[in-house]
Structure 1
Amino acid sequence: MSPSTSQVPVLSGYPRADGRKGIRNVVAVAYTVECAHHVARLVVNAFAGQPVHLIGFPGCYPNAYADTMMKQLATHPNVGAVLVVSLGCEGFNRNSLHDTVAASGRPVHTITIQQNRGTRTSVSSGVEWVSWALDMLAAQEKVPMGLDELVVATICGGSDSTSGITANPAVGLAFDSLIESGSACIFEETGELVGCEFHMKRRALTPELGDEIVKCVEKAARYYTIMGHGSFAPGNADGGLTTQEEKSLGAYAKSGASPISGIIKPGDRTWGPGLYLLDVVPDGEPRFGFPNISDNAEIVELIACGAHLTLFTTGRGSVVGSAISPVIKVCANPDTYERLAEDMDVNAGRVLTGEATLEQVGQEIVDLVVKVANGEASRSEDLGHQEFILTYKQFEPAGPGCFPLKAA
């Protein structure tokens, strides 16, 4: 299974000053407090059907996690320019965000509503600047891009009894193929990998990394036990899953069979080809008010780690997409695909009906990754989905045992 047998780049992308390349050229409109959300949304709404995406942090008091996330998202390779929309009195450091984007070589402009005569004036000036940015980005030329410059993520949502035998292992095969071609691939959901930690430990590049993987999953198990509810939802049971462990084994299949190169946390970047585990469970004591489970919040965290696109597997069905990076839906259940065909990109349920093998579906996923990376719209993109969630969390830096090859 391979997208290309030659060394000639099969992709093209937009060059960025830090050496990375984007598969989209989005203008991000970023609000820095919920009080600026409406103004930012009105600016984005003026550009329906154009690559203008809304992102933002709703909280007022500062949070190191949110600050890191916003900076990484605003300088993501798929982002070409940024409009920052601030109320003016929030604790979030809008000036630091502006300066970070400017230092990345991207055009950036900040509107402070309290200093800009309110809603109408702020929306008008925002629309004017975004119009200029779109014209500027439209003139930017693409350059050759290899698969070894691509970062691909995966997540599952709305899992059922078919997920672990069709869509998830097919994505795992696609991951193995992409990694062999030099791509970086990220899987996550440590709260949905309970019981699989020692399987992952055996795949770690070093014993130290294996130990850190076990600690990640143990942390997730403690977190969800204290919070009182884990990653096993009523819909999973309705879909035929019987235990957390059964769901975990299905989720684990998305990671494929490649060695695990490291553990990253939200906002950390991958440091080369290979397979990375993203630890999304907050560090420290569990706090009510911190999120428990949200597919879209985790997609945002994957994007903040540099993911150009995300493979989203689902058995029960999901219609969500994302701002900034495309989402490709891989449907596990043939009945679900029939009901939600307009929202699904790949029908992995054909494995159950005998119409395709896992290897064939895995190759279909790889081929679609290449097409979407080259500009073809995924189903969620075509339908206009741009879901985005960012809330408070707390993380400690990953330890040196988590990235054995980073210094190599």
Structure 2
Amino acid sequence: MMSDPIRSWQGFLRRDGSKGIRNKVLVIYTVECASFVAKAIGADFPEDDVDVVGFQGCTDNEYAVRMLLALIRHPNVGAVLAVGLGCEYIQADRLARKAGEAGKPGAWLLIQESGGTPGSVARGREIVRDFLKRLAAESVRVTMGLADLIIGAECGGSDFTSGLAGNVVVGKCFDLLVDSGGTAIFEEIVEAVGLREQLTARGRTDWARREIGATYDKALEYCKSVRQFSVSPGNFAGGLSTIEEKSMGALAKSGSRPIEGVLKASQRPECKGLWLLDSTPDPYWMGFGYTNPNDNEGLTVLASCGAQLLFLVTGRGTVVGNAVAPVLKITGNQRTYRRMEDDLDFCAGPALSGEKTLAELAAELLEAVMEACAGRPTKAERLRHKEYYIPYKYQNLETSTKRCNS
């Protein structure tokens, strides 16, 4: 860690007033048939901040469209190239137009009209090179601090140390962030089983408490309907015995501050503070969409809510990153950290060995956050782990209206 902690850094100002900690060219494919070309375009820029995301489906899905639009508007994104095949529902030209409306350079191409694979890859690389030059010359730099940050957190590969150290340190770091005027988002409502009263009691307002309760009830009914709770053989091998036990540890990453309300995928917080993310599909639809298919989906949903940086807490170890937001991976297991130090950014294990207090580790984690925001690559970024996942899903945003001042 640095002896003189960073308190501010230079970010990238966007038209909507948000500030990014990266300045990415985002290559988006609109259907799986276009993914090869999009990835080939991105692969030509290994030393630049050029990343690829996309949606596999050919048919229409409002959830996926909202996710892609949210990632286009993300503060870490400076320019967008949309790559389509030509016959799918999601239209590349409309995505590029939305980028322009957000004040970002946008372009599009259709593989069917651009010479197939070779011609499309060549054209796409030409567009990306032009975008990189424009971003270098035209991007507006601005001072950022903790009050400008949104950080999202989720768990992956949890073991007994996650609820005793890893998640607890993240929760205390979230308290520091919120107290500094920043915003924190925690997810995995399906890992709050048995904790309805604890969650609802933390709602800042009556409205927030009602919304949290309804979100919990929906998630519990969903898990029952698919006969699957968010607990795995790896969790059992790591010392967790039940979903309730795992849930107590998972909730620790939210810290102790009041919860402002509930966000659904692609919604940004209306005010600063702590927010709960609901990624569970809404009922009364045709049944597409598991709530937690993998950690890549959870990280992508957190990014869609505007999080410039992500926490991923893992006891047993994970290697993934994210295509839009840098990921800081935290473990409470010192053995896991020694075994996977090339992939993991921070070890909260000294809290269990008595070498450091939880408060000391939370302060160190916050310092690591600021270093990453100032440009220091995370382990996932160094290894070019830039995963993402957007599934078919359904969520009705009309049922989620924020009232921060009520």
Same fold? TM cut 0.5: yes
SS, match of residue 52 in structure 2: strand
SS of residue in 2 equivalent to 1:341: coil
Equivalences for residues 85-234 of structure 1 within 5 A: 85-139=83-137, 140-234=139-233
Q: After superposition, give the CA deviation of every residue in 1:244-279 in whole Å (9 maximum; x if it has no partner).
A: 111000000000000001111000001221000000
Structure 2: how far apart are the matches of 1:72 and 1:289?
21
Which residue of structure 2 aligns with residue 388 of structure 1? Answer: 388
CA deviation profile, 1:321-371 (whole Å, cap 9, x unmatched): 010100001111111111111111111011112211111111111111111
For 2:83 and 2:205, the matched residues in 1 are separated by: 45
Q: For the Cα contact (< 8 Å) 2:24–2:77, is it kept in 1?
A: yes
Task: Verify the 8 A CA contact 2:288 2:394 in the aligned structure 1.
Answer: no
Structure 2: which 5+ runs fail to align? none
Alpha-carbon distance in structure 1 between the residues aligned to 2:196 and 2:7: 36
Q: How far apart, in 1, do the equivalents of 2:254 and 2:214 lie?
A: 18
Query: What's the counterpart of residue 241 of structure 1?
Result: 240
Partners of 1:194 and 1:133 in 2: CA distance: 46
Alignment of 1:340-379 (within 5 A): 340-379=340-379
Q: Distance in 2 between matches of 1:54 and 1:335?
A: 33
Contact 1:267–1:305 (CA<8 Å) still a contact in 2? yes
Contact preservation (8 Å) 2:281, 2:290? no
SS in 2 for 1:343: coil
In structure 2, the residue matched to 1:322 is 322
Q: Does the aligned pair in 2 maintain the 1:259–1:275 contact within 8 Å?
A: yes
The alpha-carbon deviation at position 9 of structure 1 amounts to 6.4
- In the alignment, the residues of structure 2 paired with residue 17 and residue 301 of structure 1 have an alpha-carbon distance, to the nearest angstrom, of 22
- Are the counterparts in 1 of residues 161 and 332 from structure 2 also a CA contact under 8 Å? yes
State whether residues 239 and 316 of structure 1, in contact with CA within 8 Å, keep that contact through their aligned partners in structure 2.
yes
Whole-angstrom distance in 1 between the partners of 2:256 and 2:4: 20
Q: Deviations over 1:116-168 (max 9, x none)?
A: 12110000000011011111112235211232111011000000011101010
Could you tell me how far apart the structure 2 residues matched to 1:337 and 1:247 are?
21
Q: Contact conserved, 2:146 with 2:181, CA < 8 A, in 1?
A: yes
Secondary structure, counterpart of 1:28 in structure 2: strand
Q: How much has 1:399 moved relative to structure 2?
A: 3.7
Report if aligned partners of 2:93, 2:107 keep a CA contact under 8 Å in 1. no
CA separation in 2, counterparts of 1:239 and 1:382?
28
Structure 1 residue 403, shift from structure 2 partner: 2.5
Q: Is the 8 A contact 2:93 2:109 kept in 1?
A: no
Q: Partners in 2 of 1:33 and 1:21 — Cα distance?
A: 30
Amino acid of the residue matched to residue 178 of structure 2? Answer: I
- Counterpart Cα distance in 2 of 1:147 and 1:273: 11
Q: Distance in 2 between matches of 1:339 and 1:280?
A: 32
Which letter maps to 1:186? I
> Counterpart of 2:59?
61
- 1:297 is matched with which residue? 297
What is the Cα deviation at residue 236 of structure 1? 0.2
Report the CA distance shift for 1:164/1:287 in structure 2 as closer, same or farther (over 3 A): farther
The residue type equivalent to 2:113 in the other structure is Q
Are 1:197 and 1:214, in contact at CA under 8 Å, matched by a contact in 2? yes
Cα distance in 2 for residues equivalent to 1:27 and 1:384: 15
TM-score w.r.t. the length of structure 1 is: 0.95
Give distance in 2, aligned partners of 1:128 and 1:93.
Answer: 21
Q: Residue 339 of structure 1 corresponds to which residue in structure 2?
A: 339
Match of 2:19 among 14, 21, 32: 21
**Equivalent residues of 1:69, 1:267 under 8 A apart:** yes
Q: Secondary structure at the match of 2:160?
A: coil
Query: How far 1:291 moved relative to its partner?
Result: 2.8
1:391 deviation in Å? Answer: 1.2
What letter is aligned with 1:374?
A
RMSD between aligned residues? 1.8
What SS class does the counterpart of residue 154 from structure 2 fall into?
strand
Letter in 2 for 1:221: L
Give the residue type in structure 2 aligned to 1:115.
Answer: E
The alpha carbon displacement at 1:292 in A equals 4.0
Letter aligned with residue 266 of structure 2:
G
SS at match of 1:158: coil
Percent identity reads: 41
1:93 Cα offset (Å): 3.0
Q: Distance in 2 between matches of 1:169 and 1:101?
A: 38
1:6-39 Cα distance to aligned partner (Å, 9 max, x none): xx96122101111111100000000000110000
- Once structures 1 and 2 are overlaid, which stretch shifts more, 146-155 or 274-283? 146-155
Say if 1:362 and 1:9 are closer, same or farther in 2 by CA, change over 3 A: closer
Contact 2:322 2:386 in 1 (8 A): yes
AA aligned to 1:118 is: G
Q: Is the 8 A contact 2:281 2:291 kept in 1?
A: no
Q: Which amino acid aligns with 1:42?
A: A
| Per-residue CA distance 1:54-107 (angstroms, 9 max, x = gap) | 000110111111111001101110000011000010011333322211101111
Q: Distance in 2 between matches of 1:99 and 1:136?
A: 18
Do the aligned residues in 1 keep the contact of 2:55 with 2:390 (CA within 8 Å)? Answer: yes
Q: 1:72 and 1:288 mapped to 2: Cα distance?
A: 23
For 2:398 and 2:176, the matched residues in 1 are separated by 27
For residues 180-222 of structure 1, what are the alpha-carbon distances to aligned partners after superposition, in whole Å with 9 as ceiling and x for unaligned? 1110100010101111121111110112211221221121111
Kindly provide the amino acid, as one letter, of the partner of residue 216 in structure 1: T
For residue 246 of structure 1, what is the amino acid of its counterpart? E
How does the TM-score come out when normalised to structure 2?
A: 0.96
Q: Does 1:309 align with 2:332?
A: no
**Structure 2: how far apart are the matches of 1:365 and 1:398?**
37
Q: How many residues align?
A: 402
